[in-house]
Structure 1
Amino acid sequence: MMEKFSNFMDKWMVPVATFMNKNKYISCIRDAFAILMPMIIAGSFALLFNIYICGTTGLAGISGLEWLSNFSGMFSTVNYACINCMALWTTLIVGYLLGEKNEQKPLVTMIIAGCCFLSLLNPETISSDLGASSLFLSFFVSILSIVIFSKLMNNEKIKIKLPSSVPPMISNSFNALIPACITLFIFGIAGGILYGTTGMYLNDILYGIIQRPFNTIVGSQLGVSLIVIFTQLLWWFGIHGTFALNPIAQPVQAAALAANMAAVAAGTMPEEVYTKAFMHLFSNLGGGGIVISLALAILVFSKKKEEKQICKISMIPLICGISEPVVFGLPIMLNPVYLIPFVLAPLVTTNIGYIAIQAGFLTSNYVESISGMPMFIQQFLAYNGQFSALLLVVVNVVVAFIIYAPFVIMANKKELNSEVDAIEE
């Protein structure tokens, strides 16, 4: 049975994960979100400060401190620049990274990607189209524009070549002039024809047909449950599951966070569940697979000194959400005893999260979660100071502990029986 499962993973899941890790286009999108993370965190905290300092429900609502509301702009502008322009920054970063991979001038490719992206937006609503609703358009445009530009740059016949006496910066600009113009006009003409024939801009079409349904499916309880299962299976097989599935998960999480921020700024309740903070509280708490609970179960039930030593050494990383010391140190990887609880524990706690939010016990977050922060502090800040988030940390650790404990006991019995058999022989 285990051999059949390993063969299935080898044949189907591992190649897909390897492709996603090595594909230069997917890796550029994944790396772009990693680069953007400090800005997303800054933007989310700017909204939080605006609410609690300059909002009527915060300090500005206290008699004598109403004047604080006059300074909300110093936070709202940061939030707009970081969150409401997310798609623009993503386009620029992907254009830069892809330019490097295609051995082009990255600053040139970055600007070209940005100009192509802006040329496809509705000029009348452009200030509201730069955020998460345009993320799919940003991926599509940044990749396609640089692919076209790179191919044109490889055609020496259309380059304007200047004498060697001309400074390199000017010479490079003229070299890229015709390829850049052709690329920009391709997107400008395509966008103009699309609007002229349909009365709609490409961003509206992509958002309505692809991005919104995709976000809804992936962010649903079933969609997130499937992501958790695939992530844990990849981890068990020795592949960084979270890293491998980030190109699918991160855009949806970023869009959900942006939607929650917009809802809070408009005075309504945030409704999107699947954010990075949700994963840090319900799926990756104490490391992927909630292995902090496994470590605690081993410390309580295991008779193996080497396992206990590994868990003791790994405890501080686990508190900060780093699971590699346990996954590869015990190991959990390719260990048939821990496969079921390693998948089951985060699957159960993820569904607890959906139930808690749908029941109103916990409100969806609108502050970005900071990876690597200690447990409890991370969840308290990400869920904007809700004490119910702290209680759910304890609930999740206990539930996962209960799931892991029988398998730890079983592993000890199996080891003991093996030792007895060896002595009898």
Structure 2
Amino acid sequence: MSKFNQMLEEKVMPVAGRIAGQRHLQALRDGIILTMPLLIIGSIFLILGFLPIDGYPEFMTRTFGDAWLTKLLYPVSATFDIMALIAAFGIAYRLAEQYKVDPLSAGAISVAAFILATPYFTMFTPEGATEAVQVGGVLPMALLGSKGLFVAMILAMFSTEIYRYIIQKNIVIKMPDGVPPSVSKSFVALFPGFLVILCVWIIRLLIENTSFESLHNVVGQLLQEPLGALGGTLIGALIAVFFVQLLWSTGLHGASIVGGVMAPIWLAQTDANRLALQAGDEIPNIISQQFFDIFIYMGGSGATFVFAIMMLFMAKSQQSKQLGRLAIGPGIFNINEPITFGAPIVLNPLLIIPFILTPLALTITTYIGMSTGFAPKTAGVAVPWTTPPIIGGYLATGGNIRGALMQVINLVVAFAIYYPFFRMWDKQNFNVEKGSSKEQ
């Protein structure tokens, strides 16, 4: 056991610490989080549009007319379909904060660069004409949403790196001291902003003369599709879950670190499920952001909700019982820091074993359940990760009771894995308390 701890401290923690402190990964994580409130708001309307209640569509049609669903889903488009646009601003803003330069200017320049790189010309054939003509000014909403997320990420970091380099080299237009600060900042951003736009414009012109035609196609074919293929498989999901748990075992926020890389993939697959639901098509993706948030990490990373229940109702030691009383409240909302650092699980070889094994097992059971049709796939609804178990499974699958049942099965599996380790851990605590009592 001591060798295992030594390996974690000497080999894993230094590398994991450097990754956790990497400013670009932090900016990706924090910038994408900016989209989550909007996605949750849009999901509320998405749920209302597809409630699995007999006679519900007919009732809504009689009450609000034939176009009730289209009008109800307006907020869904206004939130989901600007995901990349918001991420372009948020990532640049957070990265500029890391460099201690004006984040608002960096965010605005990033959005402009993203719009410039997005093809907004369409071909239109006028009535009576034989050839199509090019019509400008039409931004494709699909590329402003999840399909443009990777381009938004790349351009946000690219534009902010140019912006901060020019600012830090002091190659800027300076205004007299009497000029208001807001005006002065605008002129400071003028030259770096011009340089960013110039670079992206040249890149767009060059790519348009290739078979790719747009930066979105380049990124999609060379980056997004391969990563999506890996992130959408059971093997890819297991690898991601393993690293989340391993990082948490050393005291680092594994979900944030791994999520900084994988969240764009899982969000894109979530949105693809949402589009399929709206179109009435079959849900395409098993792996999505809600696959992990709702079905794997019940009680938080490590699926520790059952561990909190064991401490509360089955523990013999006073320490375990007290920790159970403290942990059960946050655990209901999938917050498990009291257990992770209170038990502790961090650097505790006995509890690290079920802490890693349980989410891996739940990933397999959930994937099998959804691939066989026993449980429905997540419906593209951005259910908050703090949603309590059972409720979360019901909502994430579009109001399907089998989604809640899948969570119940996963809780049983988690209980079976955690129980023997819990008994050994609680016995250790009880013996320590008994020995202390005899000494007193």
Please report the TM-score for the alignment, with normalisation by the length of structure 1.
0.90
**Aligned counterpart, 2:281:** 268
Q: For 1:129, what is the secondary structure of its paired residue?
A: helix
Deviations 1:262-307 (A, max 9, x none): 1112211212122232223332112221212223334555422221
C-alpha distance in structure 1 between counterparts of 2:180 and 2:421, whole Å: 69
State the aligned residue count: 420
Deviates more, 1:18-27 or 1:252-261: 18-27
Match 1:129 to one of 135, 140, 143 = 143
Shift of 1:16: 3.6
**Aligned counterpart, 2:33:** 34
| CA pair 124-44 structure 1, distance change in 2 beyond 3 A | farther
> In the alignment, is the contact (CA less than 8 A) between 1:132 and 1:258 conserved in 2?
yes
> In the alignment, is the contact (CA less than 8 A) between 2:82 and 2:144 conserved in 1?
yes
Deviates more, 1:289-298 or 1:223-232: 289-298
C-alpha distance in structure 1 between counterparts of 2:403 and 2:17, whole Å: 35
1:227 aligns to 2:240 (yes or no): yes
- Letter of the 1:399 counterpart: V
Deviations 1:174-222 (A, max 9, x none): 3332322122111101111121133521111111111121122123111
- Letter of the 2:91 counterpart: V
Shift of 1:105: 2.7
**Aligned counterpart, 2:131:** none
**Aligned counterpart, 1:78:** 75
Q: Give unpaired runs (5+ residues) of structure 2.
A: 123-138
> In the alignment, is the contact (CA less than 8 A) between 2:320 and 2:429 conserved in 1?
no
- Letter of the 2:89 counterpart: L
Shift of 1:421: 10
Shift of 1:386: 1.0
**Aligned counterpart, 1:324:** 337
| CA pair 413-21 structure 1, distance change in 2 beyond 3 A | closer
**Aligned counterpart, 1:399:** 413
Shift of 1:64: 6.2
Shift of 1:97: 2.2
**Aligned counterpart, 2:306:** 293
Deviations 1:141-165 (A, max 9, x none): 0111111122223444x53344444
Match 1:111 to one of 103, 108, 130 = 108
Q: Please show how residues 357-372 of structure 1 align to structure 2 within 5 Å.
A: 357-365=370-378, 366-372=380-386
Q: Please show how residues 234-245 of structure 1 align to structure 2 within 5 Å.
A: 234-245=247-258
**Aligned counterpart, 1:381:** 395
> In the alignment, is the contact (CA less than 8 A) between 2:296 and 2:303 conserved in 1?
yes
- Letter of the 1:368 counterpart: A
1:23 aligns to 2:22 (yes or no): yes
Deviates more, 1:165-174 or 1:81-90: 165-174
1:187 aligns to 2:186 (yes or no): no
| CA pair 207-11 structure 1, distance change in 2 beyond 3 A | farther
Q: Give unpaired runs (5+ residues) of structure 1.
A: none
| CA pair 285-202 structure 1, distance change in 2 beyond 3 A | same
CA RMSD between the two structures: 2.8
1:355 aligns to 2:406 (yes or no): no
C-alpha distance in structure 1 between counterparts of 2:156 and 2:163, whole Å: 11
| CA pair 318-155 structure 1, distance change in 2 beyond 3 A | closer
Deviates more, 1:271-280 or 1:414-423: 414-423
Please report the TM-score for the alignment, with normalisation by the length of structure 2.
0.87
> In the alignment, is the contact (CA less than 8 A) between 1:32 and 1:90 conserved in 2?
yes
Match 1:100 to one of 86, 97, 100 = 97
Deviations 1:216-264 (A, max 9, x none): 2123111111222222222222222222222023212211111101111
Q: For 1:399, what is the secondary structure of its paired residue?
A: helix
> In the alignment, is the contact (CA less than 8 A) between 1:119 and 1:188 conserved in 2?
yes
Shift of 1:85: 1.5
> In the alignment, is the contact (CA less than 8 A) between 1:59 and 1:68 conserved in 2?
no
Deviates more, 1:25-34 or 1:407-416: 407-416
